[in-house]
Amino acid sequence: MATIEIDDVTVEALVIEELKSGIEILELDLIGRLNNPSGLGVFHNDHLKDIIEIQKHIDAYKLVLDWYEPEWVKTDE
C-alpha cells in the first residue's frame, strides 16, 4: 500500500473540478429529459418528477460549489 499526500489547495481544486463536471453532466441530462419526455428518467420514470429531481441535484451541486468557490470571489478576479 502506498500513501500519497496532497496539499489542501490541490484537493480543493480537484473537488471544484469534480463539482463542475457533475453540474455539466446533470445539465445535459436535464436538457435530454426536457427534449425527450418519453425517454428513460435519471431519477424517476415520471417526466415531471424527474425534471424536478434533476434540477434539485443541480442546485445542490451549485450550493456546494459556491462553498468552495464563492460567487463574490469569482467576480473580484
Cell representation of residue 20: 463542475
- Report the C-alpha gap between 51 and 76 in whole angstroms: 34
Q: Is pLDDT at 70 greater than 90 in this prediction?
A: no
Q: How far is CA 71 from the centre of its chain?
A: 16
- Using one digit for the tens of pLDDT, what is the confidence trace for 9-40? 999 999 999 999 999 999 999 999 999 988 88
Contact 5, 36 (CB under 8 A): no
Q: Is pLDDT at 60 greater than 70 in this prediction?
A: yes
